[in-house]
Amino acid sequence: MKKIEHIGIAVKNIENATKIYTSLLGSSPYKMEEVKSEGVKTSFFKTGDSKIELLEATNPDSPIAKFIEKRGEGVHHIAFAVDDIQSEIVRLKNEGFIVLNENPKKGADNKLVVFLHPKSTAGVLVELCQDRK
């Protein structure tokens, strides 16, 4: 894995949270995007070589809505950049990690993404992401 690509933060209200992170980081989001298939609205901020992704649920069945219901707002996942997501899936499955979606799906910010179950990663939802060509 190359680096922490971004940290995902679940928020109740993306407009409010975007204002907060704009003043925290001293810069505006470079992208705001809705991912209909995941039921989320997102804001992306650059922080040096990494990013912050804010996520608000757009429907009550969205994983973000469920997360906030259970645990409140806060850090939702850590995403690592990978060059070859397919070979990482094979490697991590062999290592015993629980891969939540074996077929990488289209995530926000022009990425292919897979998630690892927090049960297998000491309680943290882990995302792997590869740039889509």
Asked whether position 104 contacts Zn ion by CB under 5 A, the answer is no
CB of 104 to Zn ion, least distance (A): 13
CA distance 7 to 129: 12
| Region for 132 from its dihedrals, namely left if φ exceeds 0, alpha if ψ lies in -120 to 50, beta otherwise | beta
13 or 115, CB closer to Zn ion? 115
Cβ atoms of 38 and 107 within 8 Å: the answer is: yes
3-state secondary structure of 87: helix
CB of 39 to Zn ion, least distance (A): 14
24 or 75, CB closer to Zn ion? 75
Asked whether position 8 contacts Zn ion by CB under 5 A, the answer is yes
Asked whether position 39 contacts Zn ion by CB under 5 A, the answer is no
Q: Give the interface segment with Zn ion, choosing from 21-29, 59-67, 77-85, 93-101 (CB under 5 A).
A: 77-85
User: What strands, in cross-sheet order, belong to the sheet with 111-116?
Assistant: 31-35, 40-47, 50-57, 3-10, 74-81, 125-131, 111-116, 105-107
53 or 88, CB closer to Zn ion? 53
88 or 127, CB closer to Zn ion? 127
Question: The dihedral of CA 55, 29, 100, 104: what is its sign?
Answer: positive
Single residue of 11, 57, 79, 82 touching Zn ion by CB under 5 A: 79
Which residues are near Zn ion by CB under 5 A? Answer: 8, 53, 79, 127
